[in-house]
Amino acid sequence: MKIVTTVEELRGQLRGQLRTAFVPTMGNLHAGHLSLMRLAAKHGDPVVASIFVNRLQFGPKDDFERYPRTFQSDCDKLEAEGVYVLFAPDEREMYPEPQEYRVDPPKALGDVLEGEFRPGFFIGVTTVVLKLFSCVQPRAAIFGKKDYQQLMIIRRMCRQFSLPTEIIAAETVRAADGLALSSRNGYLSEAERAEAPTLYAELQSVASAVCQDGGRDLAGLERAASDRLRGRGWRPDYVAIRKRSDLTVPGADDRARGDPLVVLTAAWLGATRLIDNLEI
C-alpha cells in the first residue's frame, strides 16, 4: 500500500486510473470500515482510502481533540484489505488557506435530525467530501448506511453538481448483540457497553409497531421509544420516523401509498452520543 500525504502525490499515483473506488474515513478503523473497503473492491480498481479528521465538521462542544488517532494500526488494517493508496493529508495540506468556499446543503435536509443538534455539521461534511472527490476523482465512493442522513446528503450533492461519482451504500455492520460499530463505541464504559444495544432494540420495536398498526400514530411511537430510553438512563436527542426518500415526516397519503420509511435515533449514554437507524 502506498501512503501519500499531498494532493500532488495522490494525483501522481492515480494518473490514468478511470475506475477508482474511494472510501473516505477519519481513521480509528474498525470492522465496519473494513467492510467498506471490501465493497469498494467490488465496484472499482484500485481502491483508495483516506484518513483525515476534519475539523470543519466538529462543533465547539464536539470531541475533535479527543477523537481517537490510531494511524499505524489503521495502515496495517488497510494494507491487509488490499487498499492501493492511502491518502493521509494533514490540515495544512487540506486547508492551506481558510476554507471560505463551503457547500451548504438545503435546510430541509441538512438542518433536521443531526443537523438540528449539530449545527453546521453537514456543511463541514459536504465541503470536505467535495474536496476529497476533487483530489481523488473516483468513479465510485462507498458510504455506510449507519450515517443515513449523511449518505443521503452526499448522494444528492453528487447529483446536483453532476459529479461523475456513483455513491454506493453499505449496510451497517453490527456487533453480535446488535450495537452498530462506531469509533465512538470505544468511549463507553463496561456498564455502558452492556446497555448500548438497547438503542438498536428500540429501533426494532418501533419498526415492528409501524408494521403491525400501519403507522397510524407515528409521533406516539416516537415519544414512547424516547420515554423508554429515558427510563433506562439515556438522553435521547431524537427518535424519528421519516420517509427514506427525503427524510420528511410521512403524511397520511405517504403511508397509504406505502412509501418506504426509516426510523432514526441519536441518544446520549453517559458522555457518549450514539446514532443508529433501521429501514422499515
Closest of 107, 134, 105 to residue 122, by C-alpha: 105
> What are the residues facing 267 on neighbouring strands?
236, 274
Choosing from 4, 21, 33, 172, the catalytic residue is 33
Q: Where are the alpha helices (DSSP H) in the chain?
A: 7-14, 31-43, 71-80, 91-94, 107-110, 114-117, 121-136, 148-160, 190-195, 198-213, 218-231, 252-257
Q: How far apart are CA 47 and CA 19, in angstroms?
A: 9
Burial class (CB in 10 A: 0-12, 13-18, 19+), 174: middle
* Residue 33 is a catalytic residue: yes
Collapsed DSSP state (helix, strand, coil) of residue 87: strand
Q: How far apart are CA 146 and CA 179, in angstroms?
A: 11
Q: How many helices (H) does the chain have, and how many strands (E)? A: 12, 9
Residue positions annotated with a catalytic role? 33
